[in-house]
Amino acid sequence: MTQTLFREDAYQAETEATVLSSEPRGIALDRTVFYAQGGGQSGDKGTLLLDDETLVPIVSTIYDTDRATILHVPAAGAALPRPGARVIARIDWDLRYKRMRAHTALHLLSVVAPYPVTGGSVGDAEGRLDFDSGEAVLDKADIEGRLNELIARDAAVSQSWIADSELEANPSLIKTMSVKPPMGTGRVRLIAIEGLDLQPCGGTHVARTGEIGRASVTGIEKKGKINRRVRIALGAL
């Protein structure tokens, strides 16, 4: 089992860790700052620095079949550390920060377009949500304007934990019908955007909405009779 430091502090870019197991399909550490693929967000890239200064490039991060151990997928042919070795695990921060900004922007998009979310994807400074918007007409300029208004409020983003049973008693907290919040460990993390949004989420977020920067709505597509896909992109900081 891997301790998930990225859930406590998304801004922690590196950590010391101990290798639990090491195979070409993935290197398991006792703790990590690498976000593992899930919730529509790709796994982090980065490096593991070994004692002898060898750098192992990590091309992706995934959960093992137990869903509790995180595997750091090394580049093909990379040297593998031995189990028990101490390493320094460091994420590609520029990439992660783009995803944190995009992910947080999608929370705000779900406020601006308050419809059930049926799917979503977090890219690098871009992302999309699919809405079951019924008969509502989604207007690109209107959504973009209101999204940037919320970003400009620079609202604080914070997290807290509740028991699975509390979430089950308050199912209205779940906006995403296709992406179930990470349950099963007995507790669920809630992400609050001050005065704007509260929902269970296992992803990585910025600390204030102002960090998102300028957002554009790059497309609204029909994905079925009542389903609309809204794509956003963020400007460079």
Question: Which positions touch Zn ion (CB under 5 A)?
Answer: 201, 203
- Minimum CB separation of residue 162 from Zn ion in Å reads 15
Three-state secondary structure call for residue 108: helix
Which residue has the CB atom at the shortest distance from Zn ion? Answer: 201
Output 81 or 203, the one with its CB closest to Zn ion: 203
- Minimum CB separation of residue 153 from Zn ion in Å reads 18
- Minimum CB separation of residue 203 from Zn ion in Å reads 4
Q: Let me know: does 150 contact 209? Beta carbons within 8 Å.
A: yes
> Which secondary structure element, helix H or strand E, spans residue 229, and what is its range?
strand 227-234
Output 143 or 191, the one with its CB closest to Zn ion: 191
Output 47 or 176, the one with its CB closest to Zn ion: 176
- Minimum CB separation of residue 25 from Zn ion in Å reads 28
Output 45 or 107, the one with its CB closest to Zn ion: 107
Extract the tokens encoding 113: 């377009």
d(CA 15, CA 8): 13
Three-state secondary structure call for residue 135: coil
- Minimum CB separation of residue 191 from Zn ion in Å reads 5
Q: Let me know: does 29 contact 70? Beta carbons within 8 Å.
A: yes
d(CA 131, CA 120): 9
Q: How many of the other CB atoms lie within 10 Å of CB of 44?
A: 28
Q: How many of the other CB atoms lie within 10 Å of CB of 90?
A: 18
d(CA 176, CA 179): 5
Extract the tokens encoding 32: 């990590």
Report strand pairing: 187-193 vs 70-74: unpaired
- Minimum CB separation of residue 14 from Zn ion in Å reads 22
Output 27 or 191, the one with its CB closest to Zn ion: 191
Output 90 or 101, the one with its CB closest to Zn ion: 101
